[in-house]
Structures are given as structure tokens and as C-alpha cells.
A and B are shown apart, each in its own frame.
Chain A
Amino acid sequence: MMSWRTCRRLSRAFVVLVLAAPAAAQSIDPSALLKPAADSWLTYHGDYSGRHHSPLLQITPDNVGQLGLTWAFQTGQTQQIKATPIVANGVIYLTTPDNIWAVDARNGRQLWRYSYPMNDGFHIGHRGAAVYKDSVFLTTPDAHLIALDARDGTVKWNVVIADAKKGYWSTNAPLLIRNHLIVGVSGDFDNLPGILRSFDPDTGKAQWTFYSTPPPDTPGAVSGGATGGQMWMTGTYDPDLNLLFVGTGNPTPVLNGEVRPGDNRWTCSIVALNPDTGTLAWGFQASPHDTHDWDAAEVPVLVDAEFGGAQRKLLLQASRNGYYFVLDRTTGKNLLTTPFATTNWASGVNEAGQPTPNPAKEPSRDGRLVAPDEAGGTNYRSPSFDPATGLLLVSAHDAYGIYFFKKEHGRYGWAGADYGVYGRGELRALDYRTGQVRWRHDLHGGAGAAGVLTTASGVTFTGDSANSAIALRTSDGSTLWHSGIGRVGNSPITYELDGRQYVLVGGGTALYAFALPTR
């Protein structure tokens, strides 16, 4: 028989449950990010791994040909959508510079919109939002971080990430790890230290700042006088190791390498940080002494898989410098370095697995013909890792540019000139163990435009460089479906609501939702 005390405890628990239930259903608990539900896309990458892969199975290679438009959301803006949408509680959060929309994930209706006041920050693009409890976060062109009420878009707080007057801006989709909201900035046109900051997602209070390059004249600095190394892309996170992995950008001055001798750590690197303190656990520099604007900011993809005969915690990156890297993410030790796109700038690969820059390919007064060009062998658009095939799908770019530097270009900001000559985009499926290209799919354009999504059913979604969203068979790259929605500028995502799987793709300035026909 149930005792009075037990009964009272149960009834209290019941009351708590009833009261807590609506909040639990709506408020986004940070722990949900560890294992995102099928009806959501909770981080820039969908989860913490950066694999941009979904376990959803409804849309398959056999039925994807029937995919049809369910709704379209027009931003009414002039800028192409580059952001990856966030989906939580049946609501999509979509961003462009200065703007965030909350959109009903079932029918594409706008729920609310917030527009940041006119500012003279750099409006180059925007990557996306982040969610936590009942807040959604937006970074701004003038390097502010804003917390909005996810229900109605009202501003909760607004803090400065970095000083826009000095030349910082932010396009960053923040990454939430427990009670840390981790935010990056950009700033290539000025000689600025590379910073990544963590804020309390409840209050906006600053928690820590990591410098990839320290403020000038910092004693003991390893950067060799370089600034830069901005962390403008969203990192990935391993909860077991409690390590955050972030790619860092190019050094500044950008093309003038003379005034910053040495490797210029930690620019063009992958760094592993403790998310509670911002302290560096290890770093791996993909491009020592970069003089070509090849950020190593691309997504560090976390995969647990066999390598060299042992099960390992791996980190994969197809980097802007045209090389594919495999690291042991526990230690940062390099396991593989091999090109995946046309390169001519390195004279070899050193013992640490770093390509060695050929000094003859540094920008010069009379110009150097360099592959890849400034846009790189790939860029920020998300790659995707498909566990079933072991393929890393990368939007690759074979390109040449000419690079110039002379003393008159000075030692500040860009400090040089470079011009793209020719480029061609191709989706490449890399065997994660070897970097060998298992298949290629022509993207029919100069540069890879879109990110990549794979699903557990064996379908790959991306965009070509011309006019279409496309679906391919992941095992061989053959085309299964396409829709001429205009040039895709973001990374497709997917979620399932009411038993129906949706695929979201940005085409031009609109967001399109595709699904199978309902009976």
C-alpha cells in the first residue's frame, strides 16, 4: 500500500511535471544538442559533430524523384541566403545580415521578424542563428551579439563581441555548449588579433576570450608578428573529450608575408579548446605562413571510425588550401595529408603533416600563378560525412589565381592584390581513410556554391553552381532529382514533422521546403 508520504511525493512530482511540461516542450535544453531529435536541426551543423548528416529515412534514392515543393519563404531581401537554418519547436530561424525570421516549419508562414538597426558594419553574409532555452541569438555586421525571445523576437540583451570601429564584423552562427555561447568574428581588412569569445547565454556576460593571434607586442607570442586568424566559422564539439574544435582564418597583413616571418601560429589552423575556459589543448596548422588568404576555417568534421587498423576519434577537414587532413582529435596528431583539389603552392609535406609553402609561390611584384585561387579548394559551405559509405562529400574547386605583392602595397590589411583566373566546381566524394576521390559530380560552374547534406537512406542533397538544387545517390554520385530554384548558396538541412520529412534549401533569396507528396 502506498504510504502517505509516497503519495504526497508522487502528487508533488505530478504537479511539477504538469507545470514543467509546457516549458520542457518549448524551452530548448542545452542537453538536447547532444542528441538532436528528428523534428529539429538545433545547431549550425545539426549536431555537434559537423557531419551535416541526418538519420532520417523517409526520402530514399527510390522515391526522391517524387519530391515536390511544399512551401517557399521569400526573404524580400537583395542578398542571397547563405545561412543554415535552425529548426526547433516546429519553428525555423533564418538569418541574413541584420535580419532574423521565425518561420513556421510546417507551412513557411512568418511568425516574426527582427531587423537590426542600420549600421556600417561589413554586410558580407550571415551563417545562421543559435538557440538556447527560450532565446535565439543573432550576430551582427557591427560585431554585436543579440539575444532575442524565441517566441516573439523581442530583444533581451545586446552586447559587443568586438570593436567594429577597428574593423571587426560578425557573420557567425554561435555554438552553444552547456552554458557557453561561443561566438567568432571576422576582420581581414585590418591587422586585428584573432578572437573567439564565450558569453553566458542567459545574461550576455563575457566568460572568456581565446586569441589565435595575440594583440601586437604581446610577450612570448608565437604568431611572429602576424595578426588575423579569425574564427568566423562555427566549430564542432566532442562531449567525451570536452573539446571544442575551431578552424582559424588567414594571417594579416594578408598577402604581405615579409613583415610576419615564421609560421604565424595559430593562423590557418585547427585549434582544440576547452569550452569552459577557452584554453588551448592543441593546435594543427594547415597552412604555415599563409600568403594566399586560405583560411582553415572550414568545418572540422568529427568521426569515430577505423583508421590504420584501430578505432579512433578522428577529425577530418577539407581545407581551403586544397589539402585534406585527418587528425587524431584527442591529441591533434596528423594522420593523413593529401590534396583533394588542384594545388601548386607547396613543395612537399613535412613530418608533422603540414604542406610546406614554396617561397616561389608567394605573391610577388610581377605576379605568381597559384592554385587554388583566393576562394580556395573549398570554402565555408558545409561538407557532409556519410557513415555508411565512409565518404566525405566536399564542394571542391579547381582554380588558378594570380597573386601580387610589392612594398608599395604596405603592411596593413590586404597589402597586395590577387585576381581569380579560372575555376571549376565539382562535388567530390573522398574516402575518409585515404582522401582518394571515389566519385565526382560536375557542378557546372566556376565555384562550388552549396553545402552538402547526406541522409541515412543514402541520398545526398546539394546545389549545383548553375541553377538547381540536386539530389544524388550517395554511393555513386548519380543524379536522382533536381529543381531549378536558382543558385543554392547555403547548406541544405532536413527534419521530420507530423511523420513527414522536409528538406530545406536556400535558392537565391528564398527558402524552399521539399517533401514527398501526401496521400
Chain B
Amino acid sequence: MILVPLMRVLQITVLILGCMAAAAAGRAEAFGEGGQGRGQASPASVRPTPATAPQGFTREQIDSGRTRFAAQCGFCHGRDAAGGEGGTDLTRSALVGTDVQGDKIRPLLRSGRPDKGMPAFTLTDADVTAIVAFIHDQREQAANATGNRRTVDVADLQTGNADAGRRYFEGACGRCHSAAGDLKGIATRYQGLALLQRMLYPGSGGRGAGPAPKPPAVRVTLRDGQVVTGTLAYRDEFTISITDSSGWRRSWPASQVTYTVDDRLQAHVEQLGKYTDGDMHDVLAYLQTLK
């Protein structure tokens, strides 16, 4: 009887450790979406790094890629590949950074990323090569550009007062967080804009802001009184879906069960309406001391 809960605890522990490892690695992979609106770039606090290898595309391929990119990809990623409606900034993408002549981009184009809203593309080899050429060219240009890039640097965000931020934190955030506990070393894992975004609403900002937080716990009561628990996998007006402790996805019509979702992030949502800009910068200054 006691074995099952113990195993669950172990599994959860493994999950948490996995999350922490990922967070500590500070993955800069393109996880999230750039936003809803036109022209919204993905987090730009990370400057593009030079590509790992020269790509060796011709000017003709790049020019032809510009047209194909605009038609096939610009919709989401912006016509300059620097992010657009819902799509990440490819000039700052870690995947593009490690791509050599399409070895990573090509399979991604073919398979898509349906979970992130990216469709699979049916394109000729020449078209794919041209698109790859254009992305790399845009990346190089972005890495070399100075001046009006849409960047937010760590130095830009140093206007807060850490003492005032600590006082605010203790009042507003202390119920769920502690400097010595869950937030220990947070400033080592995240800096600048990524830290600010994570502070305001974990999971916002996507790339650079680290992995999304663990999904909330859900408790579903079936009509016969049976209780099933797990983590939230999906929810809309008509369906509730959980991932149970053994990793299986389970769904019910929302009208046929009762359920509760322990959405701790709701506190972050409520806080958004309470922060002054001064409070926001003060709390950021305080979090920056938690190294």
C-alpha cells in the first residue's frame, strides 16, 4: 500500500531534478512564442553569437531565399527573420547558431513543430536550401549590426533599489517564495530581461526565460466519486486533461466531472495589476542579489 505513494514521490523528485538541471543549464533553445502582435520579437537580451561554421551560400541562393522566406515563413518569423506574429527571432536562435548548411533547419522544416504551432513544409530541396541561406545571412547581418537592434541589455535594467525590493518581496511574494529556498541562485540562472519576464510571469517570454514552470496540480472527481490526480495537460470549456503520475494522458468532458486546478501562477497575474514600475524595478534589483 505504501509503495505506490513512495514511487510517486520518487517520480516527482526525478521530475523536479530534471527541471532544475534544465534550468541550471540555462538553455537558450527556442521554446516559446514571441507574442501575439505584429512585429513582436522574441526576447532580445541575448546577442547573436557568430555561427559555428561558415555557411558558404551564394548571393543568388540568399536572394532567392528572401522571396521564399517571405512567402513561407515571414508570416510567423517576420520578413527579416527577426521574429513576428507568434514566431521566434531566428537571428538569435540557438538552433540556427549550431546549424551547418541546413543540417538542423532542413529536418525541422520537413517535420514542423506542431506542438509550437509550426506546420510541416513541403518544399523542394532548392527552396529549402535558399531559405536556409537567407536565414544564415540574416543572422550574420544581425550579429554585425549596431545601433537600432531591438535589444534590452542587462545594464538597462539597473534602476531599482534592492532594499526596497526586498521589503516589497517579503510582503507580496513571501507566501510562495523564499530567497533561501526556491529562489536561491535565481540571478545566476537568469539575467536581465529573462529574469524580469520570469519574475512578472514565469513562462512568459519563452526563449531565454528558461523552461515553463511545472503545470499545476489537478484533482478530478468522477461521477462515481473516484478521485484522479495529476498535472494539467489541457483545459478548455469542454475538456479537462491531465497527465497522471504514470505519465498517461487522461481526458474527460468537463461537464461530466468536477475538478480543481491549483494554479499558483494566478498570484503572478494578480500582482501585475498591483506593481508600480518602481516596484517592478525594485523587486528585480532584489532578485539580482540572489546569486
Contact = CB atoms under 8 A, between A and B. Distances in A.
Interface of A: 78-79, 97-98, 118-125, 141, 188-189, 254, 293, 342, 344, 360, 365-369, 371, 373-376, 399-402, 404, 406, 408-410, 412-424, 442, 444-447, 464, 466-468, 470, 479, 482, 484
Contact of A78 (B35, B36, B119): B119
B280 A188 contact: no
B7 to A, nearest CB: 33
Interface string B258-291: 0000000000110011010100110000000000
B200 interface: yes
A396 B193 CA distance: 27
B126 interface: no
Contact of B238 (A78, A374, A422, A482): A482
12 contacts: A120-B79, A123-B79, A125-B85, A188-B38, A189-B39, A293-B39, A367-B157, A369-B200, A373-B37, A419-B43, A419-B193, A422-B200
Contacts of B235: 444
Given A406-B156, A412-B148, A466-B236, A122 B204 contact: no
A248 to B, nearest CB: 15
Contact of B277 (A368, A422, A466, A468): A368
A422 B39 contact: no
B44 to A, nearest CB: 6
A484 B238 contact: yes
A422 B201 contact: yes
B201 A369 contact: no
User: Which one of B44, B69, B196 has the highest number of Cβ atoms from chain A below 10 Å of its Cβ?
Assistant: B196
B36 A423 contact: yes
A479 B40 contact: no
Interface of B: 35-41, 43-44, 66-72, 74-75, 79-80, 84-85, 119, 121, 147-152, 156-159, 193, 196-197, 200-201, 204-205, 235-238, 268-269, 272-273, 275, 277, 280-281
* Residue among B80, B201, B272 having the largest count of chain A Cβ atoms under 10 Å: B272
Contacts of A369: 200, 272, 275, 277, 280
Contact of B237 (A402, A418, A423, A470): A470
Among all A-B residue pairs, the 4 with the closest Cβ atoms? A410-B148, A466-B236, A375-B36, A374-B37
Nearest to B119: A78
A410 B156 contact: no
Contact of B39 (A118, A121, A254, A445): A254
B200 A421 contact: yes
Contacts of A402: 196-197, 200
B239 to A, nearest CB: 8
B238 A122 contact: no
Nearest to A189: B39
B272 A400 contact: yes
Given A373-B36, A421-B272, A414 B71 contact: no
Contacts of B37: 293, 373-376, 420
A123 B35 contact: no
A304 B159 CA distance: 52
A339 to B, nearest CB: 13
Given A417-B41, A419-B204, A446-B36, A367 B119 contact: no
Nearest to A294: B37
B85 A124 contact: yes
Contacts of A482: 237-238
Given A417-B41, A421-B205, 5 more contacts: A121-B70, A367-B196, A374-B37, A399-B36, A410-B148
B75 A374 contact: no
Nearest to A142: B70
A484 B238 CA distance: 9
A123 B71 CA distance: 6
Nearest to B70: A120
B70 A119 contact: yes
A421 B237 contact: no
A293 B275 CA distance: 22
A98 B75 CA distance: 12
Given A120-B79, A368-B277, A444-B235, A420 B36 contact: yes
Contact of B40 (A120, A344, A374, A445): A374
A494 to B, nearest CB: 22
Contacts of B269: 422, 424
Contacts of B200: 369, 400, 402, 421-422
A290 to B, nearest CB: 13
Given A367-B152, A367-B157, A374 B71 contact: no
Contacts of A344: 273
Contacts of B68: 118
A185 to B, nearest CB: 14
B268 A422 contact: yes
A275 B127 CA distance: 44
Nearest to B42: A419
Given A124-B84, A374-B37, A417-B44, A410 B237 contact: no
Contacts of A412: 148
A1 to B, nearest CB: 71
B66 A416 contact: no
A409 B36 contact: no
Contacts of B75: 79, 97, 123-125
B277 A360 contact: yes
Contacts of A464: 236-237
A123 B74 contact: yes
Given A123-B71, A419-B43, A422-B201, A366 B157 contact: yes
A466 B241 CA distance: 13
Nearest to B121: A78
B35 to A, nearest CB: 4
B147 A444 contact: no
Contacts of A468: 236-238
B39 A479 contact: no
Contacts of B201: 400, 421-422
Nearest to A364: B277
Contact of A422 (B41, B151, B272): B272
Contacts of B277: 360, 366-369
A374 B35 contact: yes
A420 B272 CA distance: 12
A374 to B, nearest CB: 4
A309 to B, nearest CB: 36
Contacts of B38: 124, 188, 293, 374
A78 to B, nearest CB: 4
Contacts of A466: 236-237
A365 B156 contact: yes
A97 B157 CA distance: 40
Contact of A122 (B70, B148, B156, B197): B70
A446 B151 CA distance: 25
A418 B40 contact: yes
Nearest to B276: A369
B148 A415 contact: yes
